[in-house]
Structure 1
Amino acid sequence: MVTAQDVALAKERIGKYLHETPVIRLQNLEEALGCQVYVKAENMQKTHSFKLRGALNKALSLTPEQLAKGVVAVSSGNHGIGVAYAAKMLGVKATVVLTDTAPEIKINEIKGLGAEVLLCELNSRQALAQSLVDKYGYIFIPPYDDEAIIAGQGTCGVEIVRQLPNVDVIMTPVSGGGLVSGVAIGAKGEKPSVKVIGAEPAVVARYSKSLEAGERVGLPKAASLADALLVTQPGQANFPLVQKYVDQVVSTSEEYIAKAARFLSSEGKIIAEPASSITIGAVLEGKIRFEPQQKVCFLLSGGNTELSFLASL
C-alpha cells in the first residue's frame, strides 16, 4: 500500500517540474458554506489540473528503456493532458485514449502537446489502450489505479498542510480514487488529525455504495456535469486506501454541482471545472456541515473548461 514516505519521495521527484499552487482564502464564500473557506488552486497548475502530479511521478519512475517505447493513457481529459505534458518534457511518444464525450478544450490541449488522440466509448477505453500495448509495446500510465499515480496526487495533501498548518478538513473530488486516497495519505503523514472528505456525483456514487457494501461495486455508466468524475468502479489499489485513510465520502446532485460552479465563479471569482466545484456543491446541498471556526480547504482539481460552458449552467 502507498505510504506517506512514498508521497514524500514523489514530492522530491516531481517538485521542480510543478507549480506549488497557492492556498487561497475565499471569505466571500464563508457565510454560505458555514466555515472558514480556503481553496487549493490546482486549476492554476501548469496543465490546469492536479493530474500532472501523478502523470509526472509515474513517467519519471520509468526506465529510459521503458520510456523509449512510448506511453499510452486512458482519460476523460485531464490525465491525458498530464501524460502528454510529461511525454513532451521527456521527449517520448504519447497516445491518449479519450472518452468520446471529452470536452473539445481538453482534446485540443492534448493534441497541442504533441500526443495522438483516439476517441472511444467510456467502458471501451481500457481494451483499446491494452490493444496498443500489445501491438506496439507502449507503457501504460493509468489514471488512478497505480501506486506511483496515487503518491504523485498525494503531494497536493502535503502542500496543503504545509501551506495551511491549522487546516481542519480537506475536501477533494472523487472518481477512481487516486486523488482522495493520495491526499489523505500525504496530508495525514504531515498532520494525523486532519480530516479528508471526498465528494462524488450522485449519478455514479461508486465509492458511497462500495464503502457501504465493504467491497468494490461497479455501477452503470452515467452522464454528469462533472465529466472528469465518471469512473464506474473504485480502483483496486485505491479502494483499500480510501477505506483506511479517508474519513467520509458524500455524493452531490447535478443541481448542486451546477449551483456550486456558478457560486464559485460569481462569488469566488475562480474559474474551475464543475468537477472541481463538486465538494462545494455537497456543502451547499447539506450533505455535510461544518462549524464556523473550522478551516476547510477545498481542492480545486482542474480548470480546463470553457467560459461559455460555465455561463450556460
Structure 2
Amino acid sequence: MTDTAPTSPAQARHPYSPVRQTPAGLVFVSGQLGIADGALAPGGIVAETRQALANLRDKLASAGLDFSHLAKVTVYLASMDDRNAMDAIYQETLPEPRPARTCIAVAELPYRARVELDAIAVRDGQRPGAASRTAAETASGLAVTIGDVVAARTRIAGDVVRTPLLQATWAPGDLWLKAENLQPIGAFKLRGALNAIGRCDPQVRARGVLTHSSGNHGQAVAWAARAAGVPAVIVMPRSATEVKVAATRALGAEIVTVAADGRDLTTAELRARRGLTVIPPYDHVDVIAGQGTLAIEILDDLADIDTVLVPVGGGGLISGVGVVVRARSPRTRVVGVEPELAADARDSLANRRRVEWDAEVTSRTVADGTRASVLGEVTFPLIQATVDEIVTVSEDQILDAVATLARRGHLVAEPSGALSTAAYLADPHRYGRTVAIVSGGNIDPALLSRALARSP
C-alpha cells in the first residue's frame, strides 16, 4: 500500500495517512472535516459540508482521482437535524451516478465539527465505465474532461440549438460572435440544464428537479424539465422581476418565492420533503460539461482562432469552454471577462485561491448574470488549469456593447451577454482572430432602451 501527501489546507494532525492506496486499485480517504486555514468554515452545516467535500476532492486529486471515482462515502453527523441541509449540498456537488453512502449520527466530532466524511474510491480499470476516460484525462485530475463534453454534446443534440458563429464585419480586426442568445430560452444555460437532467437516473428524475435562480438558469431548468416530461420547482427571491417569474412559470415550472437569504434552506427542505433532484446553476460537473458543448461548435466552425472571450459569473461556462479549447486547440487563448464591479474571478486567478467579494458590492453591476460573489469549488480548479487571463470592463463599456450589438450586429444581448464584446471593442487589436460569446439576450426592455439612448 502507498500513501499520498495531502494537498488540502486541512492537513492531517494525527498519526494516520490522509490517503491510502492498495495494489488492487482501492483508494481509502481518511475523515474530512469542514476545515480550511486551520479553522472550521463559518456558516454552520452548509458551509462545513461544502468545505468537507472540497477537502475530499483535494485528497482524491492528490491520488489522480476525482468524485467520479468514488464507490462509497460515509457521512458522520453530530446531529441528524442537519441531514437535510447536508444532503442538499452533497447532492448538488457530487455528480450522478453517486456513490453508495451511509449516514451515521455520532455523539461528538473532532473540533466540535458538525459533519465528517470518509470515502473509498476505485481507480480506472477497476470501476465500471472506466473506459470512457482516457489515461491522459485521468492523469489530468480535472473534474470535467473533453470526453465528458463530447458525451454531453450527443446527449443534448436533439434539444439544444446549434447556434451560429457570425462574423462581425462591422467591427475592427477579426471578430466572430457565438450567438447563444438565440437558444429557446435566450441563453447558453439551457445546455447545462439539459445535460444534467439527462444524466439523472430515470427513476430519480421522474420525481422532479429543483433549483434556485432568479434568472436564466431557472428558465433553463424549467425548459429542460418540460422536455424530459418531469416536474420542475424553481425557488426564486421575492425581488425577482415579474417578467422573469412569469417567463419561468410559462414553461410549466412551479415557482416558490422566498426572501433572498432563504433560498438555500428552502431548497434543502423541498429536496428532502419531495425527493427532488437539485440542478445547481454552475458548480456541477454535468452542468459544466453541457456548457462546454458550445466550444466544440466554435472550433468546428472556425479555424485558427487566437482568442475566445468568455463572460464569467460562477465559472460554469468558462470552465467548460476551457476544457474543450485546451484539448482541441491548445494554441488558442481562453480569456474571461468580468465587470469591474464584480471581479472576484480575476482576483481569484491572480491570488491562486478563491477570493469572495461582498454580495452588496457585486450587486452594483448592471450585468446581473455575473453577480456571483465567488467562483465555485468545482469551477475554480478548472479555471486555474485552462484559462489564460481574466480581464474587466466598465459599466459604460458594457452598455455601449449592448447598444453596438443591437445597432450594428442586429443581436439583442443582455449586459452579461455583452461582456465579451465589450472587452474586444475596448482593445480590438490585442486578441487577434477572436470569438466573443454572446451568452444571453434576456434584457429588460427599459434597460435596452437606456443603452440605445446613449450616444452612438
Per the normalisation by structure 2, the TM-score is 0.64
Query: 2:257 and 2:390 mapped to 1: Cα distance?
Result: 31
Query: 2:368 and 2:241 mapped to 1: Cα distance?
Result: 8
- Bigger Cα Rg: 2
Superposed displacement of residue 135, structure 1: 2.2
Which of 279, 290, 293 lines up with 2:430 in the alignment?
Answer: 290
Superposed displacement of residue 134, structure 1: 2.1
Superposed displacement of residue 285, structure 1: 4.0
Which of 283, 292, 301 lines up with 2:439 in the alignment?
Answer: 301
Q: Which one-letter code corresponds to 1:87 in the other structure?
A: A
Query: 1:225 and 1:248 mapped to 2: Cα distance?
Result: 22
Q: Which one-letter code corresponds to 1:22 in the other structure?
A: P
Superposed displacement of residue 303, structure 1: 1.1
The equivalent residue for 2:318 is 180
Superposed displacement of residue 119, structure 1: 3.3
Q: Which one-letter code corresponds to 1:248 in the other structure?
A: E
- Is the aligned partner of 1:4 residue 2:142? no
Paired residues of 1:99 and 1:119 also in contact (CA < 8 A): yes
Describe how 1:148-297 pairs up with structure 2 within 5 A. Answer: 148-221=286-359, 222-286=363-427, 290=430, 294-297=432-435
Which of 6, 12, 22 lines up with 2:164 in the alignment?
Answer: 22
Q: Which one-letter code corresponds to 1:8 in the other structure?
A: V
How large is the RMSD of aligned CA atoms in angstroms? 1.7
Query: 2:338 and 2:406 mapped to 1: Cα distance?
Result: 20
- Is the aligned partner of 1:90 residue 2:228? yes
Paired residues of 1:160 and 1:187 also in contact (CA < 8 A): no
Describe how 1:13-162 pairs up with structure 2 within 5 A. Answer: 13-30=155-172, 35-162=173-300
Paired residues of 2:337 and 2:420 also in contact (CA < 8 A): yes
Query: 1:266 and 1:152 mapped to 2: Cα distance?
Result: 31
SS in 1 for 2:234: strand
Percent identity over paired residues: 36
SS in 1 for 2:248: helix
Superposed displacement of residue 210, structure 1: 1.2
Deviations 1:85-113 (A, max 9, x none): 11111111111123444444332221101
Q: Which one-letter code corresponds to 2:256 in the other structure?
A: L
SS in 1 for 2:338: strand
Superposed displacement of residue 188, structure 1: 2.6
Superposed displacement of residue 310, structure 1: 0.7
Moved more, 66-75 or 174-183: 66-75
Superposed displacement of residue 253, structure 1: 1.8
Q: Which one-letter code corresponds to 1:15 in the other structure?
A: A
Paired residues of 1:102 and 1:227 also in contact (CA < 8 A): no
Superposed displacement of residue 118, structure 1: 2.7
Superposed displacement of residue 123, structure 1: 4.9
Higher helix share: 1
Superposed displacement of residue 290, structure 1: 1.7
Per the normalisation by structure 1, the TM-score is 0.93
Deviations 1:145-201 (A, max 9, x none): 000000000001111000112222111110000000101112332212111111112
Paired residues of 2:421 and 2:438 also in contact (CA < 8 A): no
Moved more, 111-120 or 45-54: 111-120
SS in 2 for 1:84: helix
Superposed displacement of residue 127, structure 1: 2.8
| Higher RCO by CA contacts (8 Å cutoff, separation 6 or greater) | 1
**Structure 1 residues 168 and 285, CA, compared in 2 at 3 Å: closer, same or farther?**
closer
Gaps of 5+ in 2: 1-142, 452-456
Deviations 1:240-276 (A, max 9, x none): 0000001111122212111111121122221111111
**Structure 1 residues 12 and 243, CA, compared in 2 at 3 Å: closer, same or farther?**
same
Deviations 1:40-68 (A, max 9, x none): 01001122111000000000000111112
Paired residues of 1:21 and 1:41 also in contact (CA < 8 A): yes
Q: Which one-letter code corresponds to 2:266 in the other structure?
A: L
**For this pair of structures, how many residues does the alignment match?**
306
**Structure 1 residues 77 and 166, CA, compared in 2 at 3 Å: closer, same or farther?**
same
